[in-house]
Structure 1
């Protein structure tokens, strides 16, 4: 997957994590479903040890109340393509 497509997808997935703030109380229950899904998606987008660690972090961040504001998918993209400078496409 092109790194910029991955960035756009990551931003969209981070936005989905913000949905729980749109509907107070009920939205927090959506995190019960979204937390494991987002963790799994992170491991599919970013392979290897870094992807597994990011998957766990994403799961925990989405599962705990009020931490949904952290854009973990976008942060992982920045870590991968800016700091580690992986992928030349």
Structure 2
């Protein structure tokens, strides 16, 4: 099992091909975890984190080229790989 951006990287650089995916089997979810203690102790901080992630997602969706460049710098994967994966993994602000 592999996921983007690593799927896009091996498809591009190793000429791998996908033989099966989970499309239609399970919904795609992104999730973030916090301990109960942290969430109970710092509820406003937890909410701020979720709000900021929503803003970041909205920015990345409207600035895909720049976002791909930043992700490339931080991960070492080519910018083209990130540009290939961005449309396939849309994010919904504040979802």
TM-score of the superposition, structure 2-length normalised?
0.31
Structure whose CA Rg is larger:
2
Task: Flag the structure with higher helix content.
Answer: 1
